[in-house]
C-alpha cells in the first residue's frame, strides 16, 4: 500500500475509461515533495490519461488519487485545480486572439505563491520581448510552450503536471525547458512529467515510472539508469 501521509501525490489502483474503452488498469505510483518524477512509455501507454485522471478531466475513473492526503476521486476538475495542482497540456491551449500578456494574466491565482510576471520573465526572457505585440499563436512552438508553462506558474500550484513539454521543439529550446524545470525544482515545486524523450527526461528527473498498456510496469531511480539502458530501449523503442 502507498503511504499518502508522506507522498504529496499518491495514486493507487487507478482505473480510467473513455466511454466503453478501459484505458488505465490499476496504475500505482507516488510523488514526494520537491521531486521531478517522469512517466515514460510509448504512445498509447496511458501517460496522458493518467495526468487527465489526476485533474479530473476523465469522467469515469476509480481507485484512489490522494494529494496532500486528500482524496481527489469524485472531485470536479475546478476543485482539484484549487487544491494546488496545475496541468500544462501537450496541445498547450494558448488563446490565439490574446497577446502574451493577456494569456499570462487570464488565469486566476488559486493559491498564494503564484509567480509574478517579473519572476516569469527571469525564467522565460523570450516572453518579455514578445509581451504586448504578439498574439499567442504567432509565437514559435518553443515560445508557445514557454507561455503554456508560465501560465500555470501564475496559479500558485504546488504540483505541476507537464505533458510532453519538449514535443516538436528545437534542441536549444529543449535545453531551456530543462533549465526551467531544474530551476522550478530548486524553488520547491514538485513536477510530474510525461515524456517519450528519455534523453531529455534523464537530465531533469529524480525517478521514473515506465508505463505499458495502462499499467506501471517498472520504476527506476536516476542512479539506476546506466545499468538499465537495455531494458529502457526495449520499453521505449529508443
Residue 103 corresponds to which cell in the numbers above? 494569456
Whose CA is closest to 53, among 148, 153, 192, 197?
192
d(CA 169, CA 139): 13
Classify domain 9-236 by CATH architecture.
3-Layer(aba) Sandwich (3.40)
Paired strand residues for 48: none
Residue-wise pLDDT tens digits, 151-170 = 999 888 999 999 999 988 88
Q: How many helices (H) and strands (E) does the chain have?
A: 9, 10
Residue 207 has pLDDT above 70, yes or no: yes
Give the Å distances, CA to CA, from 72 to 69, 82, 146, 212, 220.
9, 12, 28, 24, 26
Q: Is the pLDDT of residue 55 over 90?
A: yes
Set of cell numbers at residue 34: 520537491
Q: What is the mean pLDDT of residues 53-57?
A: 96
Mean pLDDT of the chain: 89
pLDDT band at 29 (very low <50, low <70, confident <90, very high): very high
pLDDT at 137: 66
Residue 194: predicted pLDDT: 96
Q: What pLDDT score does 197 carry? A: 85
pLDDT surpassing 60 at residue 17: yes
Q: Domain residues of the chain, as ranges?
A: 9-236
Rounded to an integer, the average pLDDT of 176-196 is 93
Q: Can you give the pLDDT at residue 56?
A: 95
CB atoms within 10 A of CB 225: 16
Q: How many CB atoms lie within 10 A of CB 164?
A: 20
pTM of the model: 0.92
* Whole-number pLDDT of residue 50: 98
Does residue 124 have a pLDDT over 60? yes
Amino acid at each position: 500500500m502507498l503511504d499518502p501521509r508522506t507522498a504529496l501525490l499518491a495514486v493507487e489502483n487507478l482505473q480510467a475509461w473513455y466511454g466503453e474503452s478501459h484505458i488505465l488498469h490499476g496504475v500505482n505510483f507516488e510523488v514526494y515533495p520537491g521531486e521531478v518524477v517522469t512517466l515514460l512509455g510509448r504512445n498509447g501507454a496511458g501517460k496522458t490519461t493518467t495526468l487527465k485522471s489526476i485533474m479530473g478531466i476523465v469522467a469515469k475513473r476509480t481507485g484512489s488519487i490522494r494529494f496532500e492526503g486528500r482524496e481527489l476521486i469524485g472531485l470536479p476538475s475546478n476543485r482539484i485545480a484549487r487544491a494546488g495542482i496545475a496541468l500544462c497540456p501537450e496541445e498547450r491551449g494558448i488563446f490565439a486572439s490574446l497577446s502574451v500578456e493577456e494569456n499570462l494574466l487570464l488565469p486566476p491565482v488559486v493559491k498564494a505563491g503564484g509567480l509574478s510576471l517579473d519572476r516569469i520573465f527571469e525564467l522565460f526572457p523570450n516572453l518579455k520581448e514578445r509581451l504586448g505585440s504578439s498574439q499567442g499563436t504567432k509565437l514559435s512552438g518553443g515560445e508557445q510552450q514557454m507561455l503554456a508553462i508560465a501560465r500555470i506558474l501564475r496559479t500558485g500550484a504546488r504540483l505541476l503536471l507537464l505533458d510532453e513539454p519538449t514535443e516538436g521543439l528545437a534542441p536549444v529550446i529543449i535545453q531551456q525547458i530543462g533549465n526551467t524545470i531544474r530551476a522550478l525544482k530548486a524553488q520547491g515545486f514538485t513536477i510530474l512529467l510525461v515524456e517519450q524523450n528519455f534523453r531529455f527526461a534523464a537530465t531533469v528527473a529524480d525517478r521514473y515510472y515506465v508505463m505499458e498498456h495502462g499499467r506501471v510496469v517498472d520504476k527506476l531511480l536516476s542512479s539506476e539508469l546506466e545499468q538499465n539502458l537495455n531494458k529502457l530501449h526495449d520499453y521505449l523503442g529508443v
